[in-house]
Chains A and B, each alone.
Chain A
């Protein structure tokens, strides 16, 4: 089979039968050490790789092997990388974006699904998968009349396995809660990490945004909703510790901005923060070039960067190296550290996506809410 790959790499024609035989055992893309070979079979005028890797051209042309319907593209893929991608296939002058038909690995997000190329050394962490050994927590939906937003809002509350009303628990509030559950396997992650005593049993409140692109970039109503409506309601209904170090807030992308903005507007309310690939765009000079959606973000970040202050205790920051926001996330770390807060920062070779955020959850949650791992021998 290596010879088939070699011939494709050398753009030497191979037969459909040989490809079919190869596909019975292997799949594309073919990853070998630090290179990846993408393959497409079909009639087309042009085939391109479309991806979301900041730093590389977002569109790369495949090479058609002469006199065949076979298209190949070889690219670099550093160790432990994850790349989400699609193929752009041009037929009769029309361009279609499709998932790689030969790749079963998919990653889902609110916009659909992408194909995934996993570099050598990347493994799906086993703690993100459903484990029948783990005692499962429960979910319950609650409704809240929000004055801040002037209408009903929904929360989903995760109660850890063996929840006891007479015990007090730490609380974690999650922006984009349903997406974290659906695309980052948050419930399995919580079940597993709590069961293994790596994370303390937590109550986790999943916020359901309505217009996240308006609500999350430093909207005063969002901070008001979280601190003055969600938090009191949860404290009334559930046994929650009344200490900042027992309260956490987290979010990704614009949810990261909402987390930072809410915690900054209400210092010392949340002692534990998780900021994942925050859209922390700022300007040192000149205008925001990321479009009008980012105007409130840039305005907030510029104010925040002038006067961050100490507003929490422990902050965990994560970002993917292949994100356009990597510079902004790297630069916020020393800023936060200077305030005297404890800050941890992790990067991975991944993009701005839910799997990247999922893969950092163990590091983050075990640092923010460590469980009695060393003490429990059941």
Chain B
């Protein structure tokens, strides 16, 4: 039975141990800390975060991949070649993306007759979405070609690691996926095919861990010391959940006081829910949808950022796929649930998720708000 809890950063104000307790989760927990790279096994901090009531078993994904590379040099070379290819592809994507986003920012800054401006904005967003989609397809092709050529999960070095991991998971009904380097984390999970073991386990993931589980990994930073701060798609995620874009460390990385930037981000990744995850943030899959807890913020397509004073369920067919594990605790009284849904639909411009057909769907012009509701972008002072 699939199930999922997504959390914000855990280092400074850890909440995961309370949440595990709240759900009666104790005993053996498998830990994926490959995002910590070669420090993967220096996991005292993570064990502390998970709480003393749990027996933590680090799956050593990063170290296992290093072992595979040593044992299977042919695969190592192929892997390196694929990474070079992905890097080149990313650079090509960036050439185009930067120009498109710059154009969209100009349009969001421009004030004029809404009848003229709004269709241009909508088409600018659509152009970015088309490029994102194109990039995702190219990435998918690279991965498919790699798998078709090397059939990595069938190679002995990997099979051996998978068997060992499977035996550990035999007594770990819960897997915790910590944050860290998102590309490394994703790459190492994918290399050993760990996601194939997720199906009947509870998943608790935070920061980069949550990003990797999503259907696409979006890198972002609104004010980096170098460059324009254009969010970009890094790769396909593991696709464990859809319709939710985790944005960890939003407080530090995103300028949520700039409604135009918020609107641009939310519209670009619409219909996914863009969720700002900071300390204390929590999202849980329920049968009714995503249950958003206080300290989590939602970015809206009209540029406003929604705070949650109490846990609120946002309807989503994607969430319900992962909801089965916590039915008793998540089931809200029907009146409360209805009130929560009402408050969401009245506060947001985002259409209900049921109205979306696929990730490739581009929002219609009608779904955009009027020019007066979208403040101008701040002058672009950042330089890459």
Q: Closest Cβ of chain B: how far from A112's Cβ, in Å?
A: 32
Inter-chain contact A377/B12, CB cutoff 8 Å: no
Q: Provide the bound-state CA to CA distance between A133 and B248, in Å.
A: 17
B79 CB contacts on chain A under 8 angstroms: none
Residue B226 lies at the interface, judged by CB distance under 8 Å to chain A: yes
Residue B181 lies at the interface, judged by CB distance under 8 Å to chain A: yes
Interface centre among A167, A373, A377, A378 (most CB of B within 10 A): A377
Interface centre among B12, B39, B226 (most CB of A within 10 A): B226
Inter-chain contact B208/A377, CB cutoff 8 Å: yes
Inter-chain contact A375/B39, CB cutoff 8 Å: no
Partner of A372, one of B39, B181, B226: B181
Residue A162 lies at the interface, judged by CB distance under 8 Å to chain B: yes
Q: Provide the bound-state CA to CA distance between A166 and B40, in Å.
A: 14
Q: Closest Cβ of chain B: how far from A200's Cβ, in Å?
A: 12
Partner of B180, one of A198, A367, A377: A377
Query: What DSSP secondary structure best describes chain A's contact surface?
Result: loop
Inter-chain contact B225/A377, CB cutoff 8 Å: no
Inter-chain contact B38/A363, CB cutoff 8 Å: no
Residue A374 lies at the interface, judged by CB distance under 8 Å to chain B: yes
Residue A366 lies at the interface, judged by CB distance under 8 Å to chain B: yes
Task: For A127, give the chain B residue with the smallest CB separation.
Answer: B225
A133 CB contacts on chain B under 8 angstroms: 12
Q: Provide the bound-state CA to CA distance between A367 and B220, in Å.
A: 18
Inter-chain contact B39/A377, CB cutoff 8 Å: no
A375 CB contacts on chain B under 8 angstroms: 181-184, 219
Residue A164 lies at the interface, judged by CB distance under 8 Å to chain B: yes
Inter-chain contact A164/B38, CB cutoff 8 Å: yes
Q: Provide the bound-state CA to CA distance between A367 and B226, in Å.
A: 7
Partner of B39, one of A164, A198, A362: A164
Given contacts A164-B38, A377-B207, A378-B11, contact A366 B226 (CB under 8 A): yes
Q: Provide the bound-state CA to CA distance between A198 and B227, in Å.
A: 12
Contact with B along A148-185 (1 / 0, CB 8 A): 00000000000000101011000000000000000000
Inter-chain contact A377/B248, CB cutoff 8 Å: yes
Residue A285 lies at the interface, judged by CB distance under 8 Å to chain B: no
Q: Provide the bound-state CA to CA distance between A233 and B42, in Å.
A: 29
Count of residues in B whose CB is under 8 Å from the partner chain? 25
Residue B249 lies at the interface, judged by CB distance under 8 Å to chain A: yes
Q: Provide the bound-state CA to CA distance between A181 and B290, in Å.
A: 49
Inter-chain contact B225/A366, CB cutoff 8 Å: yes
Inter-chain contact B226/A377, CB cutoff 8 Å: no
Residue A370 lies at the interface, judged by CB distance under 8 Å to chain B: yes
Inter-chain contact A378/B224, CB cutoff 8 Å: no
Residue B35 lies at the interface, judged by CB distance under 8 Å to chain A: yes
Q: Closest Cβ of chain A: how far from B230's Cβ, in Å?
A: 10
Partner of A378, one of B9, B42, B219, B221: B9
Inter-chain contact B38/A378, CB cutoff 8 Å: no
Inter-chain contact B12/A378, CB cutoff 8 Å: no
Q: Closest Cβ of chain B: how far from A356's Cβ, in Å?
A: 18
Q: Closest Cβ of chain A: how far from B343's Cβ, in Å?
A: 30
Residue B179 lies at the interface, judged by CB distance under 8 Å to chain A: yes
B211 CB contacts on chain A under 8 angstroms: 377
Residue A376 lies at the interface, judged by CB distance under 8 Å to chain B: yes
B11 CB contacts on chain A under 8 angstroms: 378
Task: For A135, give the chain B residue with the smallest CB separation.
Answer: B11
Inter-chain contact B225/A378, CB cutoff 8 Å: no
B248 CB contacts on chain A under 8 angstroms: 377
A162 CB contacts on chain B under 8 angstroms: 39, 42
Q: Closest Cβ of chain B: how far from A165's Cβ, in Å?
A: 11
Partner of A376, one of B39, B181, B224: B181
A370 CB contacts on chain B under 8 angstroms: 226
A167 CB contacts on chain B under 8 angstroms: 38
Q: Provide the bound-state CA to CA distance between A164 and B207, in Å.
A: 24
Given contacts A162-B39, A167-B38, A374-B219, contact A363 B225 (CB under 8 A): yes
Q: Closest Cβ of chain A: how far from B253's Cβ, in Å?
A: 8
Inter-chain contact B208/A376, CB cutoff 8 Å: yes
Task: For B219, give the chain A residue with the smallest CB separation.
Answer: A374
Partner of A166, one of B38, B208, B221, B226: B38
Task: For B36, give the chain A residue with the smallest CB separation.
Answer: A378
Interface centre among A196, A366, A370, A373 (most CB of B within 10 A): A373
Q: Closest Cβ of chain A: how far from B244's Cβ, in Å?
A: 15
Q: Provide the bound-state CA to CA distance between A167 and B37, in Å.
A: 11
Q: Provide the bound-state CA to CA distance between A258 and B308, in Å.
A: 57
Contacting residues of chain B (169-192) with chain A, CB-CB under 8 angstroms: 179-184
Task: For A199, give the chain B residue with the smallest CB separation.
Answer: B225
Q: Closest Cβ of chain B: how far from A378's Cβ, in Å?
A: 5
Partner of B249, one of A198, A367, A377: A377
Q: Closest Cβ of chain A: how far from B318's Cβ, in Å?
A: 21
Contacting residues of chain B (22-62) with chain A, CB-CB under 8 angstroms: 35, 38-39, 42
Task: For A166, give the chain B residue with the smallest CB separation.
Answer: B38
Task: For B42, give the chain A residue with the smallest CB separation.
Answer: A162
Inter-chain contact B208/A378, CB cutoff 8 Å: yes
B219 CB contacts on chain A under 8 angstroms: 374-375
Inter-chain contact B39/A378, CB cutoff 8 Å: no
Inter-chain contact B182/A377, CB cutoff 8 Å: yes
Partner of A377, one of B38, B42, B179: B179
Inter-chain contact A378/B180, CB cutoff 8 Å: yes
Task: For A365, give the chain B residue with the smallest CB separation.
Answer: B225
Q: Given A366-B224, A377-B249, list of 5 further CB < 8 A pairs?
A: A133-B12, A164-B38, A367-B226, A374-B219, A377-B9
Residues of A participating in the B interface, judged by any CB pair closer than 8 Å = 133, 162, 164, 166-167, 196, 198, 362-363, 366-367, 370, 372-378
9 closest A-B pairs by beta carbon, nearest first, are A366-B225, A377-B208, A377-B207, A377-B248, A374-B219, A378-B179, A377-B179, A375-B181, A198-B225
Contact sample, A vs B, 21 pairs, CB 8 Å cutoff: A133-B12, A162-B42, A164-B38, A164-B39, A198-B225, A362-B225, A363-B225, A366-B225, A366-B226, A372-B181, A374-B219, A375-B182, A375-B183, A376-B181, A376-B182, A377-B208, A377-B211, A378-B35, A378-B180, A378-B207, A378-B249
Residues of B participating in the A interface, judged by any CB pair closer than 8 Å = 9, 11-12, 35, 38-39, 42, 179-184, 207-208, 211, 219-221, 224-226, 248-249, 252
